[in-house]
Amino acid sequence: MSRITKLPYESWAPELQSRGGSAPSAVELGISRIIAHRPEIALGLGQFTSALRLNRTLPERLMELVRLRIAFFNQCRSCMAIRYASAVDDGLNEGAVCSLERPAEAADLTPAEKAAIRYGELMATDHLAIDDAVYDDLRIHFSEPQIVELGLWCALCVGIGRLAASWDMVEDLPEAFQSRDGAPMTPWRGEATVVSRPVARGG
């Protein structure tokens, strides 16, 4: 059971509910079910997340790889258990996800993806190690506006992902991500769920 009560979708403030169509699945709703306790804040976070997604200039596959690598360090099981359909449509497959175990050595990741993943990894593990050399490496592959975009995405994934991990919302996830055996979870365990809705979720 999650450590904070999850609000049923039907009880959300009207402005939080999706317009038209059926209610999203529990996995698609993700941590939105808890953030819904504070509708005004939930709306702001949703707008920020949507702005990052809808105005994205970086490839969906790259951003999903970064998100999943951060999710591993956060040990956020709900973050590791999903794949966004937009990234799958952009060429993300489980082979690429498996490459996240050792991304620097992966043959199927581009140099740009490796640089972005390394940046996300440092944001999640040792942000003060992000020095001039790291930014110089990013500039080989990305414009400065794109580096800002990547940084904001990493900040969202690190912060919200850690919060989600602390809430321990795992009961709706595929069985492989519900394990309590004490071993570190990885996004390359398989059984991931593809979602299409841009839910408010971190890394």
Q: Give me the CATH number covering residue 92.
A: 1.20.1290.10
203 vs 39: which has the higher pLDDT: 39
Q: Which domain holds residue 49?
A: 24-195
pTM score, whole prediction: 0.92
Residue 23 has pLDDT above 60, yes or no: yes
Average pLDDT, the chain: 90
Residue 16 lies in a domain: no
Looking at residue 139, what is its pLDDT?
98
Answer with the residue of higher pLDDT: 11 or 17.
11
Residue 1 resides in a domain: no
CA distances from 168 to 5, 76, 165 (A): 11, 8, 5
Q: Band the pLDDT of 176: cuts 50, 70, 90.
A: confident
Which pLDDT score, from 0 to 100, does residue 160 have?
96
**98 falls within a domain:** yes
Please check whether residue 67 lies inside any domain of the structure: yes
Rounded CA separation 84/64 (Å): 7
**Does residue 94 fall inside a structural domain?**
yes
- Total count of domains within the chain: 1
Examine residue 18 and state whether it is found in any structural domain, yes or no.
no
Judge whether 79 lies within some domain: yes
**Residue range 146-159: average pLDDT?**
98
Q: What tokens appear for 156 in the block?
A: 């969202």
pLDDT of residue 173: 86
Residue 22 pLDDT class (50, 70, 90 cuts): low
Whether residue 141 is contained in a domain is answered as yes
Q: Average pLDDT in the 144-163 region?
A: 98
